[in-house]
Chain A
Amino acid sequence: MDEFLTIAAASKLIADKKLSPVELTQACIERVKQQDATLHAFILPTHERAMADARAAEARIMAGQSRGALDGIPIGHKDIYNTAGIRTTGHSRLLEHNVPDRDATVVRKWAEAGTVMMGKLSTHEFAMGGPSFDLPWPPARNPWNPEHFTAGSSSGTGAAVAAGFILGGTGSDTGGSIRGPAALCGIAGIKPTYGLVSRAGVLPLSFSMDHAGPMAWTVEDCALLLQSMAGHDAADPASADRSLPNFTADIAKGVKGLRIGVVRHFFETDNPVSPATLQGINHAVDVFEHLGADVRDATLSPLAEYHACGSIILTSEAYAIHEPWLKTRFNDYGELFRDRLAFGGFIRATDYVQALRRRRTLCEELKTAMAGFDILVSASQAAEAPLITEVPKWATMEKPSLTMPFNLTGYPAMSVCSGFGAGDLPICVQLIAKPFDESTLFKAGHAYETAMSTRERRPTLALQEAV
């Protein structure tokens, strides 16, 4: 089976008994065997488990007992999600032999939905430190060109989805770690509203900035995955106790009448993006206008204000988590993680508190700005993927992050592929909605994807290997 399928398409074929979950899983495993020696998307493939899951799904479906849209769908988990009895390392030497005894809540929910677990996926060390070449496992590489970076930290998920190893996977996003790899790998990825998806059983980086979320080939697939991830969980102190909408119910209703704000200064002056990225965003704005949206510019504080505030909070909270190991096992961490995080020891308690106070001001600012809009548009990465060997150690400090504002404020934000730029590498656009309005975010993203033709094209590497 050489065909690449979305979750939505595979799910329909499986439900119609025109596609066997076993055949689908075998095809994915075959791709992994052919290409993962190049891409390093997996830290630990679990092919026997996958085949067992697929056979169980097939038996259920043949017996008329399907568990729904995700039954029989091959997925993978970022290796910071605990998996009972299966090694969970955080891509770090410090947890090289760590085998949890319980699944993370999301892992359990996806298993209950009938997904096929293909394995554990590469990440930047503890969701922050890559791309690193001094860890027990190599960094994931970009399927559009393996010499190039995937972004991170959900690097393995981005690479695995783009290469067709899995149809969807888990990511986590503390400063952009879902939206970055989604952007550079040319897929879709959503950081949901803070509190919508449980983080219980996910290795923490920054308690007040961490978000769990899905990554997939299309916006619609992200909506299907989020449906099975979201929901209240008493095991997560930040979990929101509210009813869930059906994320795909209105996904095809279009953007006519939606009020869309373009935060132009973020990507034109605060962190100027590449020519192709800018062209892609402008084209997306044109598409939304053509589809009947009301598009205007929006203005917020400079990106550097959001970035500074988010970085101080993230670094302080991450340092608090890792300080015992940093003091006793400093050189067991990879160089990038330990050097970036060491700065946490130089931040005073008062700086952290001031950042929290400033955070409230910025949250209020965004709420006021969003009163006139349903969706905001910005960039999620400044340019096409750089060479993986040319990512600066201080990349996360040198320029203000385009994704950080929505970790800081907790607003839902999604990266959507907007075409291809220099080197024929993917470019992207970021869409943002109001808290707990993921449905509108999916509606806008799906309308844009449907109007474009970028979803028809798969990475050259994947196509070459599939012949």
Chain B
Amino acid sequence: MKPSISEAEFDLLAAQTGLPLNAAQKRTLYDAYWMLEGMIERVNQPMPLDREPAHTFNPEVR
């Protein structure tokens, strides 16, 4: 499997993280990136607009 984006596009994303990744480390992550993309796609499936997150805000901070 391959990522949906090119290595050059991935390099842009990597730069945005601010992590000090060298070329070999970026390549390692790029080769595995398709697995992360698959998970991101799964959690972004349509949901009702009013679907609340599992964590709800509680003003009574403990």
A330 touches B20 (CB 8 A): yes
Instruction: Report the bound CA distance from A304 to B39 in whole Å.
Output: 8
Instruction: Report the bound CA distance from A312 to B45 in whole Å.
Output: 14
| Neighbour of B21 across the interface among A308, A342, A354, CB < 8 A | A342
Q: How far is the CB of A195 from chain B (nearest CB, A)?
A: 11
Instruction: Report the bound CA distance from A308 to B35 in whole Å.
Output: 10
Q: How far is the CB of B5 from chain A (nearest CB, A)?
A: 11
Q: How far is the CB of B30 from chain A (nearest CB, A)?
A: 10
Chain B 19-62: CB-based contact to A (< 8 A → 1; otherwise 0): 11100010011001101101110111101000111110000011
A351 touches B19 (CB 8 A): no
Q: How far is the CB of B6 from chain A (nearest CB, A)?
A: 15
B32 touches A355 (CB 8 A): no
Instruction: Report the bound CA distance from A88 to B38 in whole Å.
Output: 36
| Neighbour of A308 across the interface among B14, B38, B52, B61, CB < 8 A | B38
Q: How far is the CB of B50 from chain A (nearest CB, A)?
A: 10
Q: How far is the CB of B24 from chain A (nearest CB, A)?
A: 11
Residues of B within 8 A of A308 (CB): 38-40, 42-43
- Segment of A136-144, A168-176, A358-366 engaged in the interface with chain B: A358-366
- Knowing A234-B62, A237-B62, A330-B19, the reply to whether A347 touches B53 (Cβ < 8 A) is no
B29 touches A355 (CB 8 A): no
A327 touches B18 (CB 8 A): yes
Residues of A within 8 A of B62 (CB): 234, 237
Q: How far is the CB of B17 from chain A (nearest CB, A)?
A: 3
B53 touches A346 (CB 8 A): no
Instruction: Report the bound CA distance from A2 to B60 in whole Å.
Output: 54
Does any Cβ of A come within 8 Å of B8's Cβ?
no
- Knowing A327-B19, A357-B51, the reply to whether A394 touches B43 (Cβ < 8 A) is no
A346 touches B17 (CB 8 A): yes
- Knowing A208-B55, A342-B21, A357-B51, the reply to whether A351 touches B43 (Cβ < 8 A) is yes
Residues of A within 8 A of B38 (CB): 308
> Could you say which interface size class chain B belongs to?
20 to 34
- Knowing A311-B39, A346-B17, the reply to whether A394 touches B32 (Cβ < 8 A) is yes
Instruction: Report the bound CA distance from A397 to B35 in whole Å.
Output: 7
Interface centre among A327, A339, A342, A346 (most CB of B within 10 A): A346
Chain A 205-246: CB-based contact to B (< 8 A → 1; otherwise 0): 000100000000000000000000000001001000000000
Q: How far is the CB of A312 from chain B (nearest CB, A)?
A: 5
| Neighbour of B36 across the interface among A309, A346, A393, CB < 8 A | A346
Residues of B within 8 A of A327 (CB): 18-20
B35 touches A312 (CB 8 A): no
Instruction: Report the bound CA distance from A139 to B3 in whole Å.
Output: 32
Residues of A within 8 A of B51 (CB): 357, 360-361
Residues of B within 8 A of A (CB): 13-14, 16-21, 25, 28-29, 32-33, 35-36, 38-40, 42-45, 47, 51-55, 61-62
Write 17 A-B pairs (CB below 8 A) sorted by A numbering. A308-B43, A309-B43, A311-B39, A343-B29, A343-B32, A343-B36, A345-B16, A345-B18, A346-B29, A347-B40, A351-B40, A354-B43, A357-B54, A358-B42, A359-B53, A394-B35, A397-B39
- Additional A-B contacts beyond A343-B32, A357-B53, A357-B54 (16; CB < 8 A): A237-B62, A308-B38, A311-B39, A330-B19, A339-B25, A346-B29, A351-B43, A353-B53, A354-B43, A356-B53, A356-B55, A357-B52, A394-B32, A397-B32, A397-B35, A397-B36
